[in-house]
Amino acid sequence: MADQQDPVFQIQRVYLKEASLEQPNSPAILAEQESPSVDIQLGVEGAPVTDGIFEVVVTATVHTKIKDKTVFLVEVRQGGIFEIRNIPQDQMGPIMGIACPQIVYPYLRANVADIVQRGGFPPVHLSEINFQAMYEQQQADAAAQQVQ
């Protein structure tokens, strides 16, 4: 039997929280021969759900444009529910900002590629993300903000 104080980190569920695809200039924009510009934004947020249960959501926004007209805009929010107990408080930030997003992100990548392809476009394959570097940059940015 596990000790009451043993650390616990378990995935409860990974799910598609929200997905949207907009093609406001179709079908006319589809006749354009110019290659679109692609802007990809990623975000991570986490919050407690109940005692020892946390939700982490990774968001990807993919905006493609030709000149100033949108070809398509996709936003996908992929969520994960995690049981996290008996972990020292100083380790919770890295778990919520690195470990959990690393688990959720492959599902997000697959959903983005699928939605874009189902919209009639070649799939967008999001590159691998170093969530540790992303987390460390966010921490450095937050520290710099406090100094100012």
Q: Tell me whether residue 50 is in a domain.
A: yes
Using only the alpha carbons of the chain, give its radius of gyration: 19
The per-residue pLDDT for 143 is 84
Taken as a whole, the chain contains a residue count of: 148
User: Is 3 part of any domain?
Assistant: no
- pLDDT at position 64, please? 95
**Mean per-residue pLDDT of the chain:** 93
Q: CA-to-CA distance for 29 and 46, rounded, in angstroms?
A: 37
In the predicted model, is pLDDT for residue 130 greater than 80? yes
Check residue 78 and give its pLDDT. Answer: 98
**Stated pTM of the model:** 0.88
Can you give the pLDDT at residue 3?
Answer: 54
Averaged over 76-89, what is the pLDDT?
A: 96
Q: Is the dihedral of CA 35, 59, 96, 8 positive or negative?
A: negative
Residues 141 and 51 sit within 8 Å (Cβ to Cβ):
no
Please give the average per-residue pLDDT across 40-57, as a whole number.
Answer: 96
Contact 107, 125 (CB under 8 A): no
Alpha carbon distance 55, 48 (integer Å): 6
User: Domain range for residue 40?
Assistant: 8-143
Task: State how many domains the chain has.
Answer: 1
pLDDT (0 to 100) of residue 16: 98
Beta strands 8-22; 37-50: pairing state: unpaired
Supply the CATH number for residue 126's domain: 3.10.420.10
